[in-house]
Structure 1
Amino acid sequence: MEIRGDSLTGDQDIDAKNLKYARDNVRRNKLDSRVQIVERSPSDPLIPLGEEIGMPESDTRLDFTMCNPPFYESRDELISAAKAKQRPPFSACTGAEVEMITAGGEVAFVNRMIKESVKLRDRVQWYTSMVGKFSSVATLLTILHEEGNKNWAVAEFVQGSKTRRWGIGWSWMDYRPRADAARPQGQSIPKHLLPFPPEFTFHSPPSTPLSTTIDAVNSTITALDVYWCWNSGTSTGLGFARGNAWSRHARRQMKKQAIEKAQTAATNAPAEHSEKDSKENDVKPADFIPEKQDKGAEFGFKVSVRGGMEGQVEVTVRWVNGFDAVIFESFCGFLKRKVEKGE
């Protein structure tokens, strides 16, 4: 299933019976204008874009794909998996073979999605799929990494006390998901399979007033060569950088350029400087427009400041976009040192 604007494009299937039920459900719920059923054959691409869904290929963009693949590669594997269960299931399995069995099993099926995504790239923002075997998670992530992917998510689905499933998602874009979406809280998934933590929290020194910490955060980032938009009402800021703008070298260069610019302006300044010119050159951080201020940015971040326990103020930095975890770590360390020093 995919989201396209305010419409859903769903239920790609190869089984005539399933397609009939899907169309009946759409019609019965009066969703014909929003949900489209796409009939496929086993040899068709898994992610149809273009005329197959009634749109010009160049105009088609999907927010995400969602997949529940056939888990097993043969009937024998399906039967063996059922026999291996320690307890009998609470309910009978109603899935047809066409829904549960495919050549190569779920790994081969999702691998096809990965290969297609390599070509489609950012025409789909997020590709996602559920898997029924935990071993498939590591296998598929290895395939993703071999293809050069640096932005992925892992999920764990627990139904009651027995059934457990997993999910993986990946994107070729650099927008980073929140920690609760990309890194499950359970203990069943080893840390080496999880993406880099996209959030970092630290505390100001004890007894530091909230206003002092806010001033330290805001003034520290404002002094950098980055786009920075601070909302005093929510004590939250959004920033974008074209690289490491907080290293000593970058800050020295910025200071040098500012001095040279001021000297040049003083030498070549016109006799009169109109108010209109001043307003035209004034960059207002609050006027954030997506894909404008962040265009070309290597690193995007969001900083929030909150009153914490025992009088300590809590500062949270969230990685918003970018591929380089080293830059994110570096920025977090820089901001933490500045806040702790009260600068």
Structure 2
Amino acid sequence: MHPRNIYAANSPQFVDLAEYYPALKQFLNKNSSIDFSNYEAVCTLSQALLERDFNLKIDLPVTRLCPRVANRLNYILWIQDLLDSNEPHNDDNVLGLDIGTGASCIYPLLGCRLRNWKFIATDIDPVAISTASQNVLQNNMQYRIAILQTSANSPFFTPSREQNTFDFTMCNPPFYSSVTEMQESQIFKRRPPHSITLASETELVTTGGELEFVSRMLYESVQLAAKNVATKKTWYTSMFGKLESLKEFVQKLRELELDNYVVTEFVQAMTRRWAVAWRFGFDRPAPNLTRPGFNDEGSYVSTALKGLLPPLTGCTIELHSDKTVDQKLSLVHEILLEYEEFMHLVLKSYTLTGTSDQGNVWSRSFRRRKRQKLEHREIKAADTTFRFQISVMGTSTLLIQWIFGSSAVTFESFCGMLKKKIQERNV
């Protein structure tokens, strides 16, 4: 569960919730819980949580998927992390696309309630479109959420505002490639499902299954990035219901030599879901996104994600001197001044930022070329800009973050160089 999920520390107390939302009382059992095999009870629980905790009122047709609130909240909070790892932005101007929003329209509603984003929400199901539109209206969010019906063959990313691009896209795609596959998956599960699922066929089944569905998104996003530079800042994201699908999708990213991506795992009770995000520019996400729990004591990377992780965007170096934080950063600044001819450095507010437009200017190969007195334009190559940020965590740990650049090797080399020089100077 996401650490900021309000249900992470405190599971809903059904008796208290029923006092707030009386419609839930009829479903309470002798254990002061509800029967999760009762679909009406599950839907009423979702409605109660959304109203009490987010001031959202929704209608849910019994023939369509009922969203599990805590699980959906995990995804929205992760999207927040992705956006917040970029340069500062105004939430009022953030535009998201929810592909297959469903009858509940839960992702746009939560996104608008928590961060005041704007959304375009699409679906191919007329019933979902009708109910989602009603849910938007009864929450007075029609000025922030636009509901659009598409078809199974429609491009995913075209319904944008005029001359604008999406800041992010999100999707919880149908899992299965056929009804037969869906039925077989239920047969071979080790234990019966904890909670009942009722849905239309289009919500659960799509040609080729979830892997082909999200792969279509990937190839369409590649085409968009080639045509429109502005889309290179877009975070394209999707959930996966099967770990094998995520593994195969990451392989597709690597075949395209696309290393600017993030993967994560959502664990909610006995349910596990995975998600992937990718983009085409060189702005790099925060270290705790490329390595979940980065530098948190006692944290670990899920076994499921090992082998799927992108290049690391952060590293730490332990400092041993008894100087103040300011003094330690000043000493690091002095070390890097050796390269000030080729590196722009700014030291302020407990943070040191640096930019090199010529890549790894600290390397032997760069010094060799400099000795040979090559012209500046001959040294510089395409896509060589490298930007970093250095700060001190606590009083003794130097944190280096990769902010921008195309080469993970350059970042690794920079960390190695800095660590060696710090050890030599006993900082």
**Segment drifting more, 176-185 vs 237-246:** 176-185
Letter of the 1:317 partner, please give it.
I
User: 1:226-251 CA distances to partner (integer Å, 9 max, x unpaired)?
Assistant: 122211x3x21222211112225646
* 2:303 maps to 1:188: yes
Q: 1:206 to 1:222 in 2, by over 3 A?
A: closer
User: 1:274-294 CA distances to partner (integer Å, 9 max, x unpaired)?
Assistant: xxxxxxxxxxxxxxxxxxxxx
Decide which of 116, 122, 137 is 2:220's aligned counterpart. Answer: 116
How far apart, in 2, do the equivalents of 1:153 and 1:331 lie?
22
- CA drift of 1:60 comes to 2.0
Alignment partner, residue 203 of structure 2: 99
Counterparts of residues 6-25 of structure 1 (less than 5 Å): 7-25=117-135
Asked if the contact 1:153/1:194 (under 8 Å) is kept, the reply is yes
* 2:275 maps to 1:171: no
Decide which of 147, 151, 165 is 1:41's aligned counterpart. Answer: 151
SS at the partner of 1:71?
Answer: coil
- CA drift of 1:188 comes to 2.5
* 2:263 maps to 1:154: yes
Letter of the 2:130 partner, please give it.
K
Counterparts of residues 300-315 of structure 1 (less than 5 Å): 300-308=387-395, 313-315=396-398
- CA drift of 1:322 comes to 1.2
Using structure 1 for the length normalisation, give the TM-score. Answer: 0.78
Alignment partner, residue 264 of structure 1: none
* 2:162 maps to 1:79: no
User: 1:48-95 CA distances to partner (integer Å, 9 max, x unpaired)?
Assistant: 2xxx4441xxx2211110011110001111111122222222321022
Decide which of 66, 74, 87 is 2:170's aligned counterpart. Answer: 66
Asked if the contact 1:71/1:100 (under 8 Å) is kept, the reply is yes
Q: Which has the higher contact order (CA 8 A, sep 6+)?
A: 1
SS at the partner of 2:146?
Answer: strand
- CA drift of 1:315 comes to 0.7
Letter of the 2:402 partner, please give it.
W
Q: 1:256 to 1:212 in 2, by over 3 A?
A: farther
Letter of the 1:60 partner, please give it.
N
RMSD of Structure 2 on Structure 1 (CA): 2.6
- CA drift of 1:180 comes to 2.0
Asked if the contact 2:353/2:388 (under 8 Å) is kept, the reply is yes
How far apart, in 1, do the equivalents of 2:142 and 2:148 lie?
13
Q: 1:186 to 1:95 in 2, by over 3 A?
A: farther
Alignment partner, residue 245 of structure 1: 361
User: 1:184-240 CA distances to partner (integer Å, 9 max, x unpaired)?
Assistant: 344232432101111110112354554542222112223422122211x3x212222
Runs of 5+ unmatched residues, structure 1 = 258-294
Decide which of 321, 327, 343 is 2:410's aligned counterpart. Answer: 327
Aligned residues: 293
Q: 1:106 to 1:227 in 2, by over 3 A?
A: same
Runs of 5+ unmatched residues, structure 2 = 1-75, 80-93, 97-115, 293-299, 374-381
SS at the partner of 1:114?
Answer: helix
Q: 1:111 to 1:252 in 2, by over 3 A?
A: closer
SS at the partner of 1:94?
Answer: coil
Decide which of 185, 197, 201 is 2:312's aligned counterpart. Answer: 197
Q: Greater CA radius of gyration, 1 or 2? A: 1
Percent identity over the alignment? 34
